[in-house]
Amino acid sequence: MTTPLTVERHGDVEHWTLNDPTTRNALTDTMVLGLFEACIRAKADPTLRGIVLTGAGGAFCAGGSLSSLAGVIGQPLQPGETDPLIALNRAFGDVLHALTELPQWLLCAVDGPAMGGGFGLVCCADIVVATERASFGTPEVTLGLPPAQIAPFVWQRLGDATARHCLLGGLRWTATQAQAAGLVNRVVDDDVLDTAVAEATQALNRAAPGAVAATKQLLHRLRDKMPDLRDEAARAFAAALRSPEAAAGLESFAKKLPPPWLKQP
């Protein structure tokens, strides 16, 4: 059985690989839990200096996995029922927060698509290296869903104007466009990603680990000024997923048809 998240240690650096190529490494509950547990363990490991996060099979991450939620899409809650979708979505928000709280440097190596939640993971990185064939997108609103948990991290990474343009338009970017927007630090040829990651790792490890941890803590204090939106975001996402709008949008997407709110000329 495939392990959704593989962890390999090379000296004082770990490589975390999203490892479900059949779904383009979609964020299943198991993968989200694996990422969270890896963050908790890494945060407590003083011998670990850095983490490289990547995806297997020619994709970084296709975003949230909705296949297991097919039965609740467009279905309203019964009176007095607690929505389990809230806790599930909140769990991904916990992962994003845990990634930004790591005392080690975090490098995302992106090959192929990084969509939705995958885009959010990239926004948590300290350094991002991408291949020319990498692509980035926030398609949630085009499906009738809010980009709930990733929105604060996209906003902080890209700034208000670019985040609004990206999130409200459901934009898709090439690697070069993502670099111009400030999401990606370096774009490399498709066949030299491993070399570029090794070069970046060597450069990052020139910094003293204690100094890196202290610097990241100072930078994290800036994030503390932002409100914690995990619960609000989870409620918004759950409510949207149960709405007729999301049901229509996701059905249209599955059938490769335009959504009903897209007026045809």
Distance CA 44, CA 46 (A): 6
Annotated active-site residue in 8, 14, 140, 251: 140
Say if CB 230 and CB 97 are below 8 A apart. Answer: yes
Q: In angstroms, how far is CA 91 from the centroid of its own chain? A: 13
Say if CB 242 and CB 76 are below 8 A apart. Answer: yes
Q: Name the strand (E) or helix (H) holding 9.
A: strand 5-10
Whether 140 sits among the annotated catalytic residues: the reply is: yes
CA atoms within 13 A on the CB side of 174: 6
For residue 207, give the 3-state DSSP assignment: coil
Contacts 24+ apart (CB under 8 A), 165-171: 166/138, 167/138, 167/140, 167/141, 168/141, 169/141, 170/137, 170/138, 170/139, 170/140, 170/141, 170/142, 171/137, 171/138
Catalytic (active-site) positions: 140
